[in-house]
A and B are shown apart, each in its own frame.
Chain A
Amino acid sequence: MSIAEAVRSFEERGHGAYIESIEDHRMLINMGPVHPSTHGVLRLILELDGETVTRCDPVIGYLHTGMEKECEDQNWRGAVTIVTRMDYLAPFFNEQAYSLAVEALLGIEVPDRGRYIRMLFAEMNRLSSHLVWFGTQGLDMGAMSAMFYGFRERELILDFYEMVTGLRMNNGYFIPGGVWEDLPEGWEEHARTIAKMLPERIDEYETLLTENPIFLERTRGVGVLSKEQALALGATGPIARASGIDWDLRRDLPYESYGDLSFKVPIAHEGDVYARYKVRMDEMRESVKLLDQIIDAMPGGHFKNMDPKLMPPPRSEMAVSMEAVIHHFKLMTQGYTVPAGEAYAAVESPRGELGAFVASDGGSSPYRVHVRDPSFVNLQSLSPIAIDGLLADLVACIASIDPIMGGVDR
């Protein structure tokens, strides 16, 4: 029986985890879609020779809900609430990429304050997303406390989201033209608390894992992705940077106001799980530095483009003017139209290049929205790094790629 036939017969018998031996005593086993270390509903079909992985096929689509199609039924503002649910640990980046693409089609500018608020949330989000990665990477390596600490600090950041946007996840806060609401009273104190606390907390995390012999044993030299492989497989983000590719969209193709800020792009050359760990930890420190700069430099003025064709009138005006009520009603029910055309905008999300391709036919809803999700592309790197490794190391590899299945399946 060939491998392809074995896989087929295996699939026909359902999804239960079971083992079947084929000719040369290799085993086919099914991992997932419901498995604690696959971080969601990732299913892997593995071929094992003893404990060595000889083949690894990701099977995805278990979380597919047709979000790209759903966007076509929303108005331009409403599609933000769909795209934000794609990569659910980094909701602001989805919104940012989509908003940048729509802004490019509309040909509008975001005021300084709007851009800085967006960067503030993007960097907060990078931290909260990396904290979940830190927790799950630790947990998969048997370091249970990493999970507790990571989620403890993430909670404070989520509180900040809740304070400003009203929601902890799937915020729908960035809109084409700026952000939906201005920052409330007391934001600065809360944000400064986070920026002040995190550096010492990150030091604490490092004392847990960075020189821990068990952790080193399980991550050094495990799951090596060479620079050539990373380039060929289109890997971006910390995975590419851990393989020695010095590329970060914030620095190399600046969007928003990243050109005004100074930060370093951490890279490593080993390409193993440990290098990815180091890169992400260093990225968290850089994000904290960026937070400080953004809070210090937060400009005043409008937080969104005030073009009345795009933005509803303020509440105070609606209390006294019938025209403002009609204006608000028209914008909320029909939305605005966007000139026909196509645009692609990309941002550096915690997992790599998150791009949005948006096409308009001149109507009041998107003609096509496609999101290039970094998890979807990076998942292709899993097979090459898992093959010829141990089954136990596969768990470390999955955690170090940090795929978010909501983004993979969309």
Chain B
Amino acid sequence: MQVLQVPAGEWLERARALRSEGWLLMDLCGFDALQLPEGDRFRIVCQLIDTETKQRRTVQVAAEGDPPTLPSVIEVWPTVDFMEREAFDMFGINFEGHPNLTRILMPDEWEGHPLRKDYGVGKVAIDFVPQPYLQIEGPGQSPKPEEAHVSVDRLGQTLTAGKPAPSEDVR
């Protein structure tokens, strides 16, 4: 598979040239190279296809700046509408010229960009408060209906209720 590296400044121009050669865009996705040894951190990876010659080719465009910014190619390939919105949502890549660059999969008020490598799985604290356990004598007893919301330890052990240890970031 051929990989074509395109600088951000030339992306729109190159996209127009590629389109006039007959290349159709099949996929565009964001990429965060934070944990890789080399290369720019943010880039988009586009998969192009030529239905005449039956070839595929990959185009990578590095996005620079903070927030990382690229020109939108929506005028060249209208199909990138959702894809650029997804890359913005997941990686915070800003596509200049996109008419409606809003979050597409995450809620509008979400903070952060989940597929970034420094986003951290486990960063959102889980609201876990230990419930008081009900002591029941004899095997096979169910809690009374009015207490049914209380969790029962299957082994009948009393678990010490207390504040859970503060969760640390997994990454």
Bitwise interface map of A from 342 to 371 toward B, beta carbon under 8 Å scored 1, else 0: 111010000001010101010000011010
Query: Chain A binding site: helix, strand, loop or mixed by DSSP?
Result: mixed
Bitwise interface map of A from 245 to 276 toward B, beta carbon under 8 Å scored 1, else 0: 10100001100000000000000000000000
Q: Are B82 and A379 in contact (CB under 8 A)?
A: yes
Question: Whose C-beta in chain A lies nearest to the C-beta of B30?
Answer: A370
B50-58, B130-138, B142-150, B159-167: which one contacts chain A? B50-58
Question: Whose C-beta in chain B lies nearest to the C-beta of A355?
Answer: B27
In the bound complex, what is the Cα–Cα distance between A233 and B78 (angstroms)?
6
Number of A residues, CB within 8 Å of B:
35
Q: Are B36 and A234 in contact (CB under 8 A)?
A: no
Bitwise interface map of B from 43 to 83 toward A, beta carbon under 8 Å scored 1, else 0: 00101000100101010000000000000000001110111
Q: Are B31 and A359 in contact (CB under 8 A)?
A: yes
In the bound complex, what is the Cα–Cα distance between A343 and B170 (angstroms)?
28
In the bound complex, what is the Cα–Cα distance between A355 and B28 (angstroms)?
11
Interface membership of A241, Cβ < 8 A: no
Q: Which of B25, B29, B79 meets A370, CB within 8 Å?
A: B29
Q: Are A232 and B77 in contact (CB under 8 A)?
A: yes
Q: Are A377 and B79 in contact (CB under 8 A)?
A: yes
Interface membership of B141, Cβ < 8 A: no
In the bound complex, what is the Cα–Cα distance between A377 and B31 (angstroms)?
19
In the bound complex, what is the Cα–Cα distance between A379 and B121 (angstroms)?
30
In the bound complex, what is the Cα–Cα distance between A368 and B35 (angstroms)?
11
Within the complex, what minimum Cβ distance (angstroms) separates A359 from chain B? Answer: 7
Q: Which of B31, B58, B106 meets A64, CB within 8 Å?
A: B106
Q: Which of A68, A377, A380 meets B115, CB within 8 Å?
A: A68
Interface membership of B140, Cβ < 8 A: no
Chain B contacts for A73, CB-based, 8 A:
121
Question: Whose C-beta in chain A lies nearest to the C-beta of B86?
Answer: A376
In the bound complex, what is the Cα–Cα distance between A343 and B47 (angstroms)?
10
Using A61-B106, A355-B47 as known contacts, say yes or no to A361 and B36 having CB atoms under 8 A apart: yes
Bitwise interface map of A from 215 to 234 toward B, beta carbon under 8 Å scored 1, else 0: 00000000000000001111
Q: Are B82 and A376 in contact (CB under 8 A)?
A: yes
In the bound complex, what is the Cα–Cα distance between A232 and B90 (angstroms)?
24
Interface membership of A66, Cβ < 8 A: yes
Interface membership of A328, Cβ < 8 A: no
Q: Are B24 and A69 in contact (CB under 8 A)?
A: no
